[in-house]
Structure 1
Amino acid sequence: MHRFFAEPGNIGEKEIIITGADVNHIRNVLRMRADEEVLIADGRGAEYRCKLTDIGENEVRVQILWKLDGNAELTSAVTLFQGLPKSDKMDFIVQKCVELGVARIVPVSTKRAVVKLDAKKEQTRLKRWNTISESAAKQSGRGVIPEVSGVMTFGKALEEAKKLDVLLIPYERAENMAETRRVMGSIQPGQSVGIFIGPEGGFEESEVEEAVAAGAQAITLGKRILRTETAGLAVMAMLGYLLEE
């Protein structure tokens, strides 16, 4: 069954109005017809099973059949602070981390990050990344569309991260797997979690020291050195295993 998102303000007691790019997708790509059933999420966790009633050029109207009880979100909101990678690796990171349950992704400019985005390039990339996030949220049955925020400096990201309950920074020099198991196993449902992942080449030691001073806990992901596009996925998979109800 196809799945779409609708603005909360367009959701009534008995009817939902779909606007934006999904209208063209329903009308011209999928060529759907009245009476076909779809799933509609409001981007905040609520989801509805609906029946198409009117497919117009600028909006699609659906009748609410019933509100669903299921919730595909993790019990903790996880923010990924991702060092800006080269090429299109960020596209992959956004897609897969959204599938794994991340709540927010923050691109971070670090000392070893090769990529430098001016204002125009940043806005173009952000639009693309948020489109990928929405698509991945639909595909994976999420009730929320995770936001990919504007690029932050490492210092600004640390200030933002201090608002969270638990901060983790995978680091290749961290060696105590037992301690990593203890740290990750101690995360409780409902706690907010931040993950710092470096770009190609990782973090400089001074950045790790800054993060630890700000409350982050250095953890190991094993004896193998993971690529930047793999490390965040590994942590998200571990958290999903620990937090999934």
Structure 2
Amino acid sequence: MHRFYVTPEQAAGDRIMLCPREAHHALHVLRVRTGERVQLLDGRGQVMQAEVVRAGRREVELHVGGRRHFPPPERRLALVVGLTKGAAFEEILQRATELGVTALQPVWTRRVVVRLEAEAIASKLEKWRWIAVDALKQCGGAWLPEVGGPEPLESWLERSRGWDWQVYGTLDGTRGTLRQRLLAYRSAHGGRLPHAVAAYVGPEGDFTAEERAALDRAGVEGVSLGPRILRSVTAALYMAVVFQYEGLGDDMGT
């Protein structure tokens, strides 16, 4: 069944018009027709069963026949990623959405080569939002991840609060692997998993020594991702997959 995104404001009524982007996709890519049944999601846990009541040249109108609300994820996993160039960050966002990551925060670090002018950030955020929307529609989830605007690593660390556990990937093998440190966390906390985790991934070229020291001072624990040097995309997805495998992601999305 085809799935389409509507904003939470749109989702309030029983008659819904798809936005121009979704209407174009419905009409000219998927070729929906009047009478066809589809799903609508608002990215905030609400999934609706709907019927196409009008399919015009540029507009699609639907009637909502049923609603189901999925509670927000019990546990939170945020990926804090050094902003990568090209399509790498977009790939991280897409795959992280599919894996149920609840937040993605791009940060500027010393070795980040991408620099965005203030006026470009708004258009980037809009593009990133739709990448997450398309990934959510594809994977069957119900909750969109929060995607923050880029900011310096230092300012993020200053205001980052409320995490049970924070970790960053490092090539220092003496720190212990991510899984080993997660098992140690559970052992120290009566066997329970952390409810809110922030996992940091450096840019291509990794965090500098000064940035690693700042992460350590902020209480972010360094963990090894293995003996190989991973690209940022691989490292980010490695963290997301390990946390999901260990049980942190069981209730993410739906």
So what's the TM-score if we normalise by structure 1? 0.87
**Residues 109-167 of structure 1, C-alpha deviations (whole Å, 9 max, x = no match):** 10121222222443443332222111111111121222332110011111242233321
Q: What corresponds to 2:157 in structure 1? A: 158
| Counterpart residue number, 2:209 | 205
Report the counterpart of residue 193 of structure 1 in structure 2.
197
Read off the aligned partner of 1:94 and give its amino acid letter. L
Match of 2:130 in 1: 131
Written as runs of structure 1 = structure 2, the 5 A alignment for 1:56-67 is 56=56, 59-67=59-67
Matched, 1:231 2:235: yes
1:68 positional shift: 3.5
Q: How many residues align?
A: 244
**1:180-210 CA distance string (max 9 Å, x none):** 4323786956822211110011111221221
Question: Would the alpha carbon gap of residues 184 and 83 (structure 1) be closer, same or farther in structure 2, given more than 3 Å must change?
Answer: farther
1:179 paired with 2:178, answer no
Shift of 1:104: 1.9
Query: Are 1:174 and 1:220, in contact at CA under 8 Å, matched by a contact in 2?
Result: yes
Structure 2: gaps (5+ residues): none
CA deviation vs aligned residue, 1:31-80 (integer Å, no higher than 9, x gap):
21111111111210111222212234665332233224667x75322221
Does the alignment pair 1:33 with 2:33?
A: yes
Q: For residues 84 and 154 of structure 2, what CA distance do their matches in structure 1 show?
A: 18
- The alpha-carbon distance between structure 1 residues 125 and 54, as it changes in their structure 2 partners (threshold 3 A), is same
- Partner secondary structure for residue 11 of structure 1: helix
Q: Which amino acid aligns with 2:184?
A: R
AA partner of residue 43 (structure 1): G
The change in CA–CA distance for 1:127 and 1:67 in structure 2 (over 3 A counts) is: closer
Looking at structure 2, the residues matched to 211 and 106 of structure 1 have their Cα atoms a distance apart, in angstroms, of 15
> Over aligned residue pairs, what C-alpha RMSD do you find?
2.5
| Paired residues of 2:45 and 2:70 also in contact (CA < 8 A) | no
Partner of 2:96: 97
CA contact under 8 A between 1:107 and 1:150: conserved in structure 2? Answer: yes
Which amino acid counterpart does residue 219 of structure 1 have in structure 2?
V
The more displaced of 167-176 and 6-15 is 6-15
Tell whether the 8 Å contact from 1:112 to 1:200 is kept in structure 2 after alignment.
Answer: yes
Unpaired runs of 5+ residues, structure 1, are none
Matches within 5 A, 1:12-91: 12=12, 14-56=14-56, 59-68=59-68, 74-91=73-90
Supply the AA of the counterpart residue of 1:7.
T
Q: Is the 8 A contact 1:81 1:157 kept in 2?
A: no
Percent sequence identity over aligned pairs: 30
**Per-residue deviation, 1:8:** 1.9
After TM superposition, give the deviation of residue 82 of structure 1 in Å. Answer: 0.7
SS in 2 for 1:95: helix
Structure 2 residue matching 1:8: 3-state secondary structure: coil
* Aligned residue type for 2:185: V
Is the CA contact (8 Å cut-off) linking 1:98 and 1:136 kept in structure 2?
yes
TM-score (norm 2): 0.84
The residue identity in structure 2 corresponding to 1:19 is C
